[in-house]
Amino acid sequence: MSTEHTLTALRQLKLDGMVRAFQEQIEQPGVVADLSLEERFGMIVEREVNHRDSRRVARLLKSAKLKFPSACLEDIEYQAGRGVDRAVVASLATGDWIRHGQCITLTGLTGVGKTWLACAFCHQACRQGFSALYVRASRLFEELKIAHGDGSFSRRLSALAKTDVLLIDDFALAPIGTAERNDLLEVLDDRINGRSTIITSQRPTKTWHEYLNEPTLADAILDRILHRAHKMALGGESRRKPESAKP
């Protein structure tokens, strides 16, 4: 088989990474001249694996719809008083909290970087092959309200339940009613068996029970979040000030 036929066959098989690696070896023969056939072929296969990994991560990030898609743990700043512990972040970066179906809560005043950090954890999850989804709490409740009306509620719940990491941003920002409390419990109840949730809020977690304003449902909702949560209370100056351009 000629080189061109080989490349055509690889393209038909959608092995784009192998195509590029094979072309590079042809165009730069000196680079691989001293390598064995096995070594050269191994490089081509490794390129395909890396190419597929990159495409999968890109797909996961696109589906996640993160508010800050470029946020990543490597860019975190650890100033004193900010409440971001390097050892805790390093532990969470392994992804074990996702494998064990645990949660993260990020609380603090507006502008301290809660949403950015939450997106960074989601970004890291996608890089490790987990699915993620960002949604503001108010929008989630509105979507579920509409889903009740058009008969798609069960399908929406099922889709959320299949997401490895669900990021609910700006929780407890607006008053909550009975319908929203019930829907939140449904969403969280589906996530008990091995799914993880990140919740950001301006309110400290100790005030969430009072905010939910219905003891029985509050107990059920918070039990599904807080007993298996990594709690991070952020402080420091607002990251939105011009002099605080970095995350």
Complete domains list, the chain, with CATH: 3-63 (no CATH), 65-244 (3.40.50.300)
Which residues have CB under 8 Å from 158's CB, separation 6+? Answer: none
Report the C-alpha gap between 224 and 157 in whole angstroms.
Answer: 16
pLDDT value of residue 247 = 53
- Mean pLDDT for 93-101 is 96
Report the C-alpha gap between 160 and 236 in whole angstroms.
Answer: 33
pLDDT value of residue 53 = 72
- Mean of all residue pLDDT scores within the chain: 89
CB 33 within 8 A of CB 56: no
pLDDT value of residue 27 = 77
- Torsion, Cα 170 176 182 187, to 10 degrees, reads -10
Report the C-alpha gap between 35 and 40 in whole angstroms.
Answer: 6
Q: Which of 17-21, 50-54, 117-121, 225-229 has the highest mean pLDDT?
A: 117-121
Report the C-alpha gap between 87 and 77 in whole angstroms.
Answer: 13
User: Given a cut of 80, is residue 246 above it in pLDDT?
Assistant: no
pTM of the predicted model as reported, rounded to 2 decimal places: 0.82
- Which one has a higher pLDDT value, 242 or 97? 97
Least confident of 40-44, 122-126, 128-132, 155-159: 40-44
Which structure tokens are listed for 121? 């954890």
| Sign of the dihedral defined by the CA atoms of residues 194, 200, 205, 208, in that order | negative
pLDDT tens-place string over residues 31-90:
677 777 787 777 777 776 676 677 888 999 999 999 999 999 999 988 888 889 999 999
Burial track 1-22 (b if 16+ CB lie within 10 A, e otherwise): eeeeeebeebeeeebebbbebb
- In sequence order, the β-bridge partners of residue 105 are 199, 231
User: Given a cut of 90, is residue 185 above it in pLDDT?
Assistant: yes
